[in-house]
């Protein structure tokens, strides 16, 4: 199992975090290759189902990242997102998924470095938790 | 203290007299109420506009053929005032629907009562139901919990109506055979009943009875959660519990909160075509069929658990006897609890995911 690598879905908002990821790339910053990126217009667009579906499909972790509170391109999408995330946590606990499999971060377009740090941290955390087994087969 | 209309008649008859007055004096165009379809005790919801039809009305029947929130939202908005006698959880369901712009409170005289719970549909209509129903009324007049009611009713803390224009004390009311009190909670109720000839006093619900019932309900709730094993075991248990699910989606059809005309889970988004099958099988090596039955419930929990009013309708109709309502009620307490939200308590209180505060949940995203 030592060569097991987690697969992490990264859902990034177009205006901040995706641009932050881009900057990390352009700046040739290193971060683990475990993430698969989906670009969305705004973190407020994330339906809790997207996250649950990712777990059901076998992703070991999900990272959702948007603009810092107050900086949303659509003014308040990330505040709504934050409320929805708050709802998902007790639900994950209830269904027996380790809450840390799901992580949120706010990364702005200028924070390439922060993006690489976030991905590194999330990857480490999920490596620690191990492969997802719940929610995969019987759900 | 509130204005209370006193009627010298049993509670049921008194309410019918009051409704008759409202209909014949053209204050309302009709009333949504439970009514008897035939002698065997079978009940449905009906909208009665002719006072003569009121003799079939059975407004307090301990049964929920459908959650009336659904019907009431299809009847509103109305141009002329109507009345509706519904149970407290149905009223809360209606308020949740109005928040979702699926109905309107305007012109609706909402009448509700302290609720002793409802019998499962099969019990209410099954053999020997007469005796069970008689025992039921007997128990609730003493403020006791009838053994025959739905599990979630036994565990329901919200048996006192919220947002009702008129509240009727029924639970623990030993005088309900001989007298009728209508507690007026709103200006609308007072105005509409102005011409009704009756004694008016000031009074309120008996808090001793309420506290006594509440204590029983809370302890029943813990018992129910333990029995259903929804307290801790998480998904393994959830997979087991929903393992019997036949995927009929009946639970969401009857739910007052699940109002979407096209549920995402019934849309093509959840069709499994051959590519999806092959990809998933490649990942997992095995797949539950039909797929997504448990996922459907997880999706509903994520989408609406914070608004679940715990009516128990989903559990009652489930052909596989899955304790759906107990699970939703439990998870709903956790999700709504984050925002101190009580579904259906107050129309002015926004649905938690529809608003935000700038300073909150600051640990998220750190
Ligand atoms: S009513 Fe019961 S069997 Fe039908 S979808 Fe809901 S849980 Fe499954
Ligand atoms: S989920 Fe079940 S108990 Fe909750 S409101 Fe819907 S039908 Fe009622």
H or E element that contains B202 = strand B199-203
Q: Which of A49, A104, A135 sits opposite B302 (nearest CB)?
A: A49
- What CA–CA distances, in Å, run from B136 to A7, B131, B139, B192, B210? 56, 8, 5, 33, 18
Cα nearest neighbour of B277 on chain A: A57
Q: Which of A53, A90, A137 sits opposite B334 (nearest CB)?
A: A90
B232: how many CB neighbours lie within 10 A of its CB?
11
Residue B241 with chain A: CB contacts under 8 Å: none
Checking if the pLDDT of B172 tops 80, the result is yes
Whole-number pLDDT of residue B239: 80
Angle between helices B324-337 and B293-304 (to 10 degrees): 40
pLDDT band at A137 (very low <50, low <70, confident <90, very high): low
Q: Distance (Å, rounded) from C-alpha B300 to C-alpha B289?
A: 19
Whole-number pLDDT of residue B332: 93
Ligand 1 centre and the CA of B308: distance in Å? 16
- Tokens 């090596």 -> residue: B285
Q: Which of A70, A80, A137 sits opposite B288 (nearest CB)?
A: A137
Residues 6+ apart with CB under 8 A from B328: B300, B301, B305, B308, B310, B314
Average confidence (pLDDT) over B133-147: 92
Q: Which atom of ligand 1 is nearest to the CA of B249?
A: 5
Ligand of minimum distance to the alpha carbon of B312: 2
Q: Verify whether the Cβ–Cβ distance B235 to A95 is below 8 Å.
A: yes
Checking if the pLDDT of A1 tops 60, the result is no
Ligand 1 centre and the CA of B200: distance in Å? 48
| Count of residues in chain A | 139
Give the lowest-confidence range in B152-156, B214-218, B360-364: B360-364
Find out whether the peptide bond into B181 is cis, omega within 30 degrees of 0.
no
pLDDT, tens digit (0-9, with 9 covering 90-100), for A2-52: 688 999 999 999 999 998 899 999 999 999 999 999 999 999 999 999 999
Average confidence (pLDDT) over B253-264: 93
**Is the pTM above the cut of 0.95?**
no
Q: How does DSSP assign B30-45, residue by residue?
A: -EEEEEESSTT--EEE
Return residues 276-295 of B near A (CB < 8 Å).
Answer: 280, 283-284, 286-288, 292, 294-295
The token pair that represents B175 in the structure block: 């005088």
pLDDT band at A71 (very low <50, low <70, confident <90, very high): confident
Percentage with pLDDT > 70 across chain B: 98
Q: Is the CB of B299 under 6 A from ligand 1?
A: no
Q: Distance (Å, rounded) from C-alpha A102 to C-alpha A89?
A: 8
Interface probe, candidates B240, B365, B366, chain A, greatest A C-beta count within 10 A:
B365
> Would you give the DSSP letter of residue B350?
P
Between B82 and B42, name the one with better pLDDT. Answer: B82
Residue A79 with chain B: CB contacts under 8 Å: 356-358
pLDDT, tens digit (0-9, with 9 covering 90-100), for B304-355: 999 999 999 999 999 999 999 999 999 999 999 999 999 999 999 999 989 8
Between B361 and B344, name the one with better pLDDT. Answer: B344
B125: how many CB neighbours lie within 10 A of its CB?
15
Angle between helices B293-304 and A77-95 (to 10 degrees): 130
Asked if A55 contacts A135 with a C-beta cutoff of 8 angstroms, the reply is yes
Whole-number pLDDT of residue B86: 98
DSSP H helices in B102-199: 121-125, 129-141, 151-154, 187-192
pLDDT, tens digit (0-9, with 9 covering 90-100), for B223-255: 998 888 765 566 777 888 888 899 999 999 999
Whole-number pLDDT of residue B51: 95
Ligand 1 centre and the CA of B294: distance in Å? 10
Q: Verify whether the Cβ–Cβ distance A139 to B298 is below 8 Å.
A: yes
Whole-number pLDDT of residue A7: 94
> In the sheet where A61-66 sits, what is the strand order?
A35-40, A8-13, A61-66, A102-106
pLDDT, tens digit (0-9, with 9 covering 90-100), for A112-127: 999 999 999 999 999 9
H or E element that contains B73 = helix B68-75
pLDDT band at B25 (very low <50, low <70, confident <90, very high): very high
Whole-number pLDDT of residue B242: 86
Checking if the pLDDT of B65 tops 80, the result is yes
The token pair that represents A24 in the structure block: 């990390």
Residue B283 with chain A: CB contacts under 8 Å: 57-58
Cα nearest neighbour of A68 on chain B: B365
Residue B295 with chain A: CB contacts under 8 Å: 52-53, 56, 139
Checking if the pLDDT of B47 tops 60, the result is yes
Whole-number pLDDT of residue B233: 61
Supply the mean pLDDT for chain B. 91
B360: how many CB neighbours lie within 10 A of its CB?
15
Percentage with pLDDT > 90 across chain B: 67
All structural domains of chain A, each given as residue ranges with its CATH number in brackets, are 8-129 (3.40.50)
- Tokens 């025992």 -> residue: B135
- What CA–CA distances, in Å, run from B48 to B19, B102, B196? 10, 22, 19
Between A135 and B363, name the one with better pLDDT. Answer: B363
Checking if the pLDDT of A138 tops 70, the result is no
H or E element that contains B226 = helix B207-228
Residue A82 with chain B: CB contacts under 8 Å: 356, 360-361, 364-365
pLDDT band at B132 (very low <50, low <70, confident <90, very high): very high
């Amino acid at each position: 199992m030592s060569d097991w690598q987690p697969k992490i879905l990264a859902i990034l908002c177009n205006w901040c975090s995706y641009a932050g990821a881009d900057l990390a790339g352009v700046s040739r910053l290193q971060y683990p290759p475990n993430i698969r990126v989906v670009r969305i217009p705004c973190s407020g667009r994330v339906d809790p189902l997207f996250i649950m579906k990712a777990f059901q499909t076998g992703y070991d972790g999900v990272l959702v990242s948007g603009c810092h509170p107050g900086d949303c391109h659509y003014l308040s999408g990330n505040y709504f997102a934050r409320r929805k995330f708050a709802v998902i946590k007790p639900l994950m606990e209830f269904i027996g998924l380790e809450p840390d499999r799901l992580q949120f971060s706010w990364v702005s377009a200028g924070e390439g470095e922060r993006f690489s740090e976030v991905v590194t941290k999330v990857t480490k955390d999920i490596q620690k938790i191990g492969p997802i087994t719940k929610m995969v087969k019987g759900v | 203290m509130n204005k209370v209309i006193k009627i010298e008649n049993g509670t049921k008859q008194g309410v019918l007299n009051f409704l008759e007055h409202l209909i014949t004096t053209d204050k309302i165009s009709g009333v949504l109420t439970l009514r008897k379809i035939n002698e065997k005790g079978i009940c449905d919801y009906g909208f009665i506009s002719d006072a003569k039809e009121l003799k079939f009305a059975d407004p307090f029947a301990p049964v929920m053929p459908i959650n009336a929130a659904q019907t009431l939202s299809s009847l509103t908005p109305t141009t002329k005032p109507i009345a509706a006698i519904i149970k407290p959880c149905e009223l809360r369901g209606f308020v949740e629907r109005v928040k979702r712009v699926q109905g309107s409170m305007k012109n609706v005289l909402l009448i509700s009562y302290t609720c002793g719970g409802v019998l499962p549909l099969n019990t209410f209509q099954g053999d020997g139901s007469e005796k069970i129903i008689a025992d039921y009324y007997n128990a609730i007049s003493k403020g006791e919990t009838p053994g025959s009611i739905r599990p979630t009713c036994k565990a329901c803390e919200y048996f006192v109506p919220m947002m009702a224009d008129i509240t009727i004390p029924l639970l623990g009311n030993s005088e309900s055979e001989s007298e009728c009190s209508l507690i007026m909670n709103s200006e609308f109720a007072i105005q509409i009943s102005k011409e009704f000839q009756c004694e008016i006093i000031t009074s309120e619900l008996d808090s001793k009875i309420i506290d006594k019932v509440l204590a029983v309900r809370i302890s029943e709730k813990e018992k129910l959660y333990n029995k259903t094993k929804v307290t801790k075991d998480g998904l393994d248990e959830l997979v087991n519990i929903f393992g019997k699910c036949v995927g009929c989606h009946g639970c969401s059809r009857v739910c007052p909160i699940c109002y979407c005309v096209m549920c995402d889970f019934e849309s093509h988004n959840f069709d499994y075509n051959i590519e999806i099958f092959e990809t998933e099988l490649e990942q997992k090596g095995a797949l539950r069929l039909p797929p997504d039955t448990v996922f459907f419930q997880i999706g509903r929990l994520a989408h609406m658990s914070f608004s679940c009013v715990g009516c128990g309708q989903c559990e009652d109709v489930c052909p596989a006897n899955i304790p759906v309502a107990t699970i939703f009620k439990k998870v709903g307490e956790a999700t709504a609890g984050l925002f101190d939200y009580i579904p259906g308590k107050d129309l002015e209180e926004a649905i938690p995911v529809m608003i935000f505060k700038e300073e909150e949940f600051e640990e998220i995203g750190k």
